[in-house]
Amino acid sequence: MGSTQSERSHGTQSLGLGDLGGLSSAESGFAEALITSRQNISPKRLVEPGPNPEEQVRLFRAAAAAPDHGLLVPWRFVIVPEERRSALANTF
């Protein structure tokens, strides 16, 4: 599995995922980049603006469609109201 100059200069390497459900090469490359560059963000570092209600619905639908390798369904999504966010940040 060879890496491109761009991948070497950015410290990434293709996973060679092959066919990703009929996605074009550009789409599968974009999907792979999103997956491999994912980051966990501490609640203390979250800043406004957050997702609006429509974006939240889209995010929850996408999360619910993700593979569940540990068979952990049903999931529970929690929306923390703005007035409680500082308390959550202090917890972490």
Higher pLDDT, 71 or 40: 40
pTM: 0.49
Give the helix, strand, coil percentages of the chain, each rounded to 5: 45, 0, 55
How confident is the model at residue 7, as a pLDDT? Answer: 44
Assess whether 89 and 53 both reside in one domain.
Answer: yes
Assess whether 49 and 75 both reside in one domain.
Answer: yes
Mean pLDDT of the chain: 76
Total domain count, the chain: 2
Rounded average pLDDT over 28-50: 83
The H or E element containing residue 68 is: none
If pLDDT is split at 50, 70 and 90, which confidence band does 57 have? very high
Q: State how far the Cα of 16 lies from the Cα of 12, in Å rounded to an integer.
A: 12
Rounded average pLDDT over 36-43: 82
Assess whether 52 and 87 both reside in one domain.
Answer: yes
